[in-house]
Each structure stands twice: as C-alpha cells, then as structure tokens.
C-alpha cells in the first residue's frame, strides 16, 4: 500500500446474472489507477452475503457491535477504510438496484463525511434516475456527493471491447476523480482532526 494515497473504493452495484456492471467498473478502476491520486479497490456486491432482513437496532448507533453476517465482513471493512467511493450503478425501474440499497442500509458510519462519485449506465436516461436517488439516500448518511460524474445512455451501443466509445469519457472521469481527490484529502483531515458531529 502506498502511504500517501487515499483509498478509493469502487462499488459494483448490480448483482444480476449476465450484468454489465463489472465492465464499467473495471474501466473506471483503470482510469482511477492512471489518475494516480488513489489506492484503488473494486468491491463487487455479487457474492457478498447481504440479507434484506436487518437487525432490530439501527447501524447508526451500534458502531462496531452491529451484528452483521460473517460473509459481509470484507465489505464492511472496505467501506470503513475507504476515503472516497465511486458507485457504479445501472438503472432499474427508474432507481438503483436493491443490492445497492441493502449494502447501504447495513452500514452508516462507514459512509459518514466521505465523498461519493457516480458512474451510471442504462437506457435513454443513462442511469441518471438511479443517481438522483442515490444522492438523496447518501446525503442522509452524511456522505458528500460529487456533482460531476459519468452517465452512459444506451450503454449497449456506447461501449465496445470494454471501453466507452465517447472520446470525452476519460476527461469526464478525470474531472470526477480530481473532485473526489480534493474532497478525500479535505474530509480525511477533518475526520482526523475531530469527530464528525453526526
Ligand atoms: C429490473 C430491471 C429494470 C430496469 N429498468 C430500467 C429503467 O428504468 N431505465 C433504464 O434505463 N434501464 C432499465 N433497465 C435496463 C438496464 O439498464 C440494463 O438491463 C442494464 O444492463 C442493467 O445493468 P446490469 O447489467 O449491470 O444489471 C432495467 C433492467 C432491469 C433488470
């Protein structure tokens, strides 16, 4: 691990059979690696035990004692250690997948005072409805959502061989990564200086 780099966790939000999400996430991870400002980790929600039945208490107050399944431990520690996130999400029925909502709801403090960027894909709207909902939800968890992100409308014609065809996509990604890096540095320093008053 490189000491001075902030940790960026890229979350693959869809877990559907035959999903496209990993193609997008892997390209974003490559761009983030080239950016140079982060230590990059891709967390794929597929294969992680994320039950829909939550414990009685809220994760907000339970802290480290929250009774999560053993099969969720790697996800929890990746979220805990992250300084920044990129959520890669498709659009399902004008929102984001239930897998992503479940992963979000099992955690609370792991999101607090950390920046989140979005890369979405879908039909005509490019997953923007999903991102609008995610912005709303993550604000409730005291995360800081980043304005600039990427949306890929009609992703089925917009990608070839694991790459987006839009020549502007790497530039948009760099802008998002620059903003994420700025917030990651600022918020890490702030979290280290004083507990967030949530
Ligand atoms: C349950 C479901 C609902 C969907 N609803 C929408 C939608 O509202 N808007 C849209 O643009 N695409 C929608 N789609 C199409 C998805 O954008 C497309 O299937 C995409 O590949 C899903 O991402 P994934 O392959 O990573 O699961 C939907 C797909 C599914 C499976």
Give residue-wise pLDDT tens across range 84-130.
999 999 999 999 999 999 999 999 999 999 999 999 999 999 999 99
Cα–Cα distance for residue pair 149/61, rounded to 1 Å: 31
Substitution candidate for ligand 1 out of 20, 92, 125 with most atoms within 8 A of CB = 92
Q: Rounded to two decimals, what is the model's pTM? A: 0.97
93 within ligand 1 shell (Cβ under 6 A): yes
What is the pLDDT, as a whole number, of residue 1? 43
What is the pLDDT, as a whole number, of residue 3? 57
Structural domain for 86, as ranges: 6-193
> Is 54 within the bounds of a domain?
yes
Looking at ligand 1, which residue's alpha carbon is closest to its atom 19?
122
Number of domains in the chain: 1
Looking at ligand 1, which residue's alpha carbon is closest to its atom 23?
90
What is the pLDDT, as a whole number, of residue 30? 98
> Is 25 within the bounds of a domain?
yes
> Is 59 within the bounds of a domain?
yes
Structural contact between residues 102 and 50, judged by C-beta atoms closer than 8 angstroms: yes
Substitution candidate for ligand 1 out of 91, 120, 154 with most atoms within 8 A of CB = 91
Residue where the block lists tokens 């399902």: 92
Cα–Cα distance for residue pair 19/47, rounded to 1 Å: 13
Structural contact between residues 174 and 31, judged by C-beta atoms closer than 8 angstroms: yes
What is the pLDDT, as a whole number, of residue 63? 77
In the reported structure, the alpha carbon of residue 136 is separated from the centroid of ligand 1 by a whole-number distance in angstroms of 20
154 within ligand 1 shell (Cβ under 6 A): no
**Please, which residues bridge with residue 43 across strands?**
11
13 within ligand 1 shell (Cβ under 6 A): no
Please list the ranges in the chain whose pLDDT falls under 50.
1
User: Which CATH number characterizes residue 144's domain?
Assistant: 3.40.50.360
Question: Dihedral angle at the C-alpha atoms of 97, 100, 102, 107, nearest 10 degrees?
Answer: -160
> Is 33 within the bounds of a domain?
yes
> Is 198 within the bounds of a domain?
no
> Is 184 within the bounds of a domain?
yes
> Is 1 within the bounds of a domain?
no
Q: Angle 169-25-7 (CA atoms, 0-180°, nearest 5)?
A: 100
> Is 148 within the bounds of a domain?
yes
What is the pLDDT, as a whole number, of residue 184? 98
Which of 144, 106, 152, 147 minimizes the C-alpha distance to 127? Answer: 152
147 within ligand 1 shell (Cβ under 6 A): no
């Amino acid at each position: 691990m490189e000491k001075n780099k902030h940790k960026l966790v890229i979350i693959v939000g869809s877990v559907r059979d035959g999903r496209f999400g990993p193609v997008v996430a892997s390209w974003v991870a490559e761009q983030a690696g080239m950016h140079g400002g982060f230590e990059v980790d891709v967390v794929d929600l597929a294969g992680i035990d994320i039950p829909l039945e939550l414990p009685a208490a809220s994760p907000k107050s339970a802290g480290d004692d929250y009774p999560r399944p053993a099969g969720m431990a790697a996800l929890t520690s990746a979220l805990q250690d992250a300084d920044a996130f990129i959520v890669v999400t498709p659009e399902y029925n004008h929102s984001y997948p239930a897998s992503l909502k479940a992963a979000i709801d099992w955690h609370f403090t792991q999101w607090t005072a950390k920046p989140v960027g979005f890369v979405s894909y879908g039909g005509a709207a490019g997953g923007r409805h999903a991102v609008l909902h995610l912005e709303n939800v993550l604000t409730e968890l005291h995360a800081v959502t980043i304005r600039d992100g990427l949306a890929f409308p009609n992703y089925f014609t917009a990608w070839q061989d694991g790459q987006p065809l839009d020549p502007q996509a790497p530039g948009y990604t760099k802008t998002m990564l620059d903003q994420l890096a700025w917030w990651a540095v600022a918020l890490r320093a702030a979290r280290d200086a004083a507990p967030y008053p949530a």
